[in-house]
Structure 1
């Protein structure tokens, strides 16, 4: 049976894992930990991170949603001026690596089915590679992927097409025969710029109207991809 693509490159947070379960929960904890009972600092941290303390969620405007770990540290540093960005970056990397995970679909059978159909699989996240491997490892699916990269893996960060093209090169795939799968415009813009097909999913913070202009198709979650694959 012919199929639309030979490779699928997935974003991680908001795509393989539900965004709010992981990151909104994590952010609430680090705001509490870093503020150490200082209510004014807690509010400054929430404002810098665009985090709604009442709802316990990131606002859609937060640069942390699609940003790199470095960019997240720079946001936090706006409120905590007595710690370096580098120190905060290391702190965020290690605390986020143990953040709770909620798979958007049961990942092991989903990924196994794709691989059995000859589809090469990769992950490209604007999180660190350390965090990516920790999260995939906690879900028991690291070995399902042929390629795992973070913003610090040497290929750049989305929305640059470079990390997408690195996946295609590593697996010797025609970029036109690869789909970039993600929950943010960063993901889709990167895929488009790389000459790839693009699949948007609604398990992050973006709405269909946000993703549709940059996606070939938008699904509620990645579980709809297998039915889309046949050409």
Structure 2
């Protein structure tokens, strides 16, 4: 055994994990998908969905695998948030976890898969007690989401392909946890060339109806103007 091998073997072994904070916009509420933990420690308590990184995976691959196993969905919008590595965060062993923020539509995922995990949606202001440092992870992801939606179009991943401006404004209000002036919001939306108005209306919430819009990613890539 050469010197380099000895040094690596003498260093403390650390387990690497990923945890996913899954956001959804359901019934005009920003919600979080949680699971009942199925093993010790803290078996049966509410938890983020996560898992250990396999030897042949990078972090992004592990997060995508875990989300696919839960939802049956591929190509979910996913971004890395923060790494949590306090020495005592897991009572069984030294585990360092990198968190990912994900956004999914309730209408798209495989409900049978979600039920296998005994998963449930919770409004952001009604999240139950979570294991370990998962509450800190959630807070970190929410704060990042609030910063990011002002300068990037990530909020559109929480909406169906066709949506109304009232739905869009409601989404921004629940994420930012603040009321937004309707006229100012509409002015800023009008400047976004990547928001395409359709010749269709949603008649489900009023007799007059509301025009439907869609987010055009190609137009956004050409323009990339976003300032809410």
Which one has more relative contact order, counting CA pairs under 8 Å at least 6 apart? 1
- TM-score range (shorter-chain normalised) is under 0.3
Higher strand share: 2
User: Which of these two proteins has the greater Rg computed from alpha carbons?
Assistant: 2
TM-score (norm 1): 0.25
Question: How does the TM-score come out when normalised to structure 2?
Answer: 0.25
